[in-house]
């Protein structure tokens, strides 16, 4: 298992550009907070995407893809004007037709926009959808926090019942478990709805009013614009005000309390352990009732592997009829960081089936023809280029990880045969050229 510090630096410094001076060097580099996903890391991505597809299949969620950019108002109206995302983090631009557009800073609002635009309320409810999509936020990059990251997310739209909240949590929990991530902690809260939250916000303001002198500048703005976010401040000087702030649990209306009890009892039925996090509020304005986050065993500053909640007012904010919804988003880069830290590798890294080694011009043409034939039969084939020594070719064959080499030389060509060598044991046999495709196709399937 690689040390955590090494992994963090691989992801944050090497792959994810975080050094501004890089941008001024001669070499063009990825923009700050973004990364190339190099071939060595692709097996993690394939595995995570495959697992997401498999787990969503079990819960009958179907894939949706929305454009990378949307009209800016889709996010301003839903995520909320007082949030960090809308105020500081959106990549917003005017296109050549003077339309104001924003690179998707989160996945929920676009899916709700699509639900509305395509009249999905006429389908059986809830409509269950998932996405695997890049997300863009102008954040301060650090390990686990990037300016472009990828989210696997789900949204279940059109059903207000607590079973659906529990279902999305179960889906995320199953997905992370399927990847082998252990000792996760699920944090759960209810932040009420339009009936009971106003009274809670009043209580929160009353608590903060005499403390406005001690809290940070951002919190003074939050006090005015978005008091719920006061509970989410990370500044040291604000922690004591947070610690003795009133909790919403005591102020939930009967309907919200009953809904929350419903979610909890289903999680208990499914034996999904959770802890109540009375100050969990989340950074987006659209949430109502259930909110949750899943964190790994090892805490860092940016830890949530996935997070979400209910958003019963969101579709109305987009101009639709009142329509409930619930879902989550989970960061793929953070998952990979945690998988590497736990020493968990993706199963079955793809290797070529066959490496063709040849000696001489005639043998090369034969090798190229054979490579095409084997590929047409579904095998993955590598052959060296140019005229390299046999030794160099065998070295390349070993490095490639192919289990089998085919050796073609003058002798073999004269006999109309090829030598097939098992690269692990060194055992070899001669096989007539006209039987080689069948012989290798069968052995690669066994
Ligand atoms: P979020 O908490 O902002 O929620 O993001 C969801 C997840 O995306 C986080 O828990 C984290 O794993 C990952 N993430 C967020 N920002 C970054 C970043 N800068 N770098 C790397 N990973 C990041 C949402 O976006 C909601 N749309 C989730 C949701 C769906 N709620 C209901 N449905």
pLDDT tens sequence across 403-412: 999 999 988 8
pLDDT at 13: 40
Residue of minimum CA distance from atom 17 in ligand 1: 145
Q: Shortest CA distance to 121 belongs to which of 388, 320, 356, 307? A: 320
Query: Given ligand 1 and candidates 113, 308, 330, which is best to mutate, with the most ligand atoms within 8 Å of its CB?
Result: 308
Q: Is the CB of 106 under 6 A from ligand 1?
A: yes
Query: Given ligand 1 and candidates 34, 135, 187, 286, which is best to mutate, with the most ligand atoms within 8 Å of its CB?
Result: 135
pLDDT at 440: 87
124 neighbors 96 (Cβ within 8 angstroms): no
Residue 385 corresponds to which tokens in the numbers above?
């280029």
| Other beta carbons within 10 Å of 262 | 16
Q: How confident is the model at residue 348 (pLDDT cuts 50, 70, 90)?
A: confident
Q: CA 27, CA 380: separation in Å to the nearest integer? A: 35
- First-to-last alpha carbon distance for the chain, in angstroms, is 32
Q: Order of strands, edge to edge, in the sheet holding 100-103?
A: 69-71, 100-103, 92-94
* Ranges in the chain annotated CATH 3.30.930.10: 39-196+248-341
Give the SS3 label for residue 130: strand
Model pLDDT for residues 92-134, shown as the tens digit of each residue: 999 999 999 999 999 999 999 999 999 999 999 999 999 999 9
Q: Shortest CA distance to 281 belongs to which of 202, 165, 162, 201? A: 201
Question: What CATH number has the domain spanning 39-196+248-341?
Answer: 3.30.930.10
307 CA distance to ligand 1 middle (Å):
6
Q: Shortest CA distance to 445 belongs to which of 396, 378, 361, 372? A: 378
Question: What CATH number has the domain spanning 354-441?
Answer: 3.40.50.800
Residue of minimum CA distance from atom 22 in ligand 1: 331
279 CA distance to ligand 1 middle (Å):
18
Model pLDDT for residues 219-252, shown as the tens digit of each residue: 998 898 889 889 988 889 999 999 989 999 889 9
Give the SS3 label for residue 388: coil
pLDDT at 428: 92
Residue of minimum CA distance from atom 20 in ligand 1: 145
272 CA distance to ligand 1 middle (Å):
21
Q: CA 409, CA 424: separation in Å to the nearest integer? A: 21
pLDDT at 229: 87
* Ranges in the chain annotated CATH 3.40.50.800: 354-441
What lies within 8 Å, CB to CB, of 324 at 6+ separation is: 157, 158, 159, 160, 310, 311, 312
Model pLDDT for residues 161-213, shown as the tens digit of each residue: 999 999 999 999 999 999 999 999 999 999 999 999 999 999 999 999 999 99
Q: CA 390, CA 338: separation in Å to the nearest integer? A: 42
């Amino acid at each position: 298992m690689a040390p955590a510090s090494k992994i963090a630096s691989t992801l944050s410094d090497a792959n994810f550009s975080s050094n501004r001076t890089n941008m001024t060097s001669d070499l063009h580099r990825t923009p700050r907070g973004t990364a190339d996903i190099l071939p060595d890391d692709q097996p993690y991505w394939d595995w995570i995407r495959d697992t997401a597809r498999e787990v969503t299949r079990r819960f009958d969620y179907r894939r949706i893809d929305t454009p990378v950019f949307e009209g800016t108002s889709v996010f301003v109206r839903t995520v909320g004007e007082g949030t960090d995302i809308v105020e500081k983090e959106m990549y917003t631009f005017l296109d050549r037709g003077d339309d104001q557009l924003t690179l998707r800073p989160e996945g929920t609002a676009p899916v709700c926009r699509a639900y509305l635009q395509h009249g999905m309320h006429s389908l059986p409810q809830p409509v269950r959808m998932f996405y695997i999509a890049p997300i863009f936020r102008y954040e301060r990059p650090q390990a686990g926090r990037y300016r472009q990251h990828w989210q696997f997310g789900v949204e279940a739209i059109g059903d207000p019942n607590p079973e659906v909240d529990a279902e999305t949590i179960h889906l995320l929990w199953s997905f992370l478990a399927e990847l082998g991530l252990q000792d996760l902690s699920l944090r759960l809260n209810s932040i009420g709805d339009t009936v009971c939250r106003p009274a809670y916000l009043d209580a929160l303001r009353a608590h903060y009013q005499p403390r406005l002198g001690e809290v940070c500048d951002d919190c003074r703005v939050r006090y005015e614009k978005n008091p719920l976010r006061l509970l989410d401040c990370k500044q040291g000087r604000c922690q004591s005000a947070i610690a003795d702030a009133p909790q919403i649990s005591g102020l939930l209306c009967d309907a919200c309390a009953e809904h929350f009890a419903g979610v909890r009892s289903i999680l208990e039925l499914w034996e999904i352990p959770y802890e109540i996090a009375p100050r969990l509020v989340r950074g987006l304005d659209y949430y109502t009732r259930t909110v949750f986050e899943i964190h790994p065993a090892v805490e860092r500053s940016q830890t949530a592997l996935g997070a979400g909640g209910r958003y019963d007012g969101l579709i109305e904010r987009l101009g639709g009829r009142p329509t409930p919804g619930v879902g989550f988003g989970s960061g793929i880069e953070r998952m990979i960081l945690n998988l590497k830290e736990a020493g968990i590798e993706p199963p079955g890294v793809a290797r070529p089936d066959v490496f063709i080694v040849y000696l001489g011009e005639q043998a090369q043409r034969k090798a190229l023809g054979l490579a095409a034939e084997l590929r047409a039969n579904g095998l993955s084939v590598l052959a060296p280029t140019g005229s390299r020594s046999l030794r160099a070719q065998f070295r390349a064959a070993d490095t490639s990880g192919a289990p089998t080499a085919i050796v073609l030389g003058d002798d073999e060509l004269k006999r109309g045969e090829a030598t097939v060598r098992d690269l692990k044991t060194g055992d070899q046999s001669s096989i007539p050229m006209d039987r080689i495709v069948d012989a290798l196709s069968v052995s690669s399937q066994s």
